[in-house]
Structure 1
Amino acid sequence: MTQLPPAEGTHDLHDGDVALALQALGWILSDEPRAERLLALTGLAPGELRASLGERATLAAILSFLTAHENDLVACADALQVPPATIAATAQRLEGQQPEGTTA
């Protein structure tokens, strides 16, 4: 099971990060087997997922789910018309990490 990162963090949520995570979730939920895999790996029930969409940990888990499955990452990035690296960097920010190649 994927461990959800703590809700607290040193980095504020950015609107763009939230929007990207929510767009990615919409893409994930468009395919039932993929949606079921997300729920199984995060341990969230559908109602819990809905209720926690404003939490950093949930948004990070959504994008981390994609970064753990390269085929899904590339397909989602293509559908959202963003580079896969953008999704990966956003996942790292939401997890409270500094994305690779950036400075504080």
Structure 2
Amino acid sequence: MSTQPRLLPWSGAAGKPCYLVSDEDGTGPIGRLADELEAVQLRMGAQLLGHARDLLGNDKAEAGELRYLCNRLVEALRDALRVAESRGRRMAVPADDESNEGPSLADEVFA
């Protein structure tokens, strides 16, 4: 069984983080689904960034368009931070490293 639960790229009830505890080292169906969703989220964020560049370069962009763009950028950034947190937690950390104590980025962002 994995020693560190995996932060999944979706939220549970009331927006709380979901975790996967698996003995398959991420090769099971839920781990593969999470990998696929993370890839989709990152691709969508990259596409949104391109759209943002275009819209911000348009002097005639309206406030409603910009507000919509900002909301989507916030969502994309939240998703990217969740992916980074999940992947960072799964990286090997030396046993004597005590810098992991205290709340994580995910605890602060997704609370």
TM-score for both structures, normalised by structure 1 = 0.31
Larger C-alpha radius of gyration, 1 or 2? Answer: 2
TM-score for both structures, normalised by structure 2 = 0.29
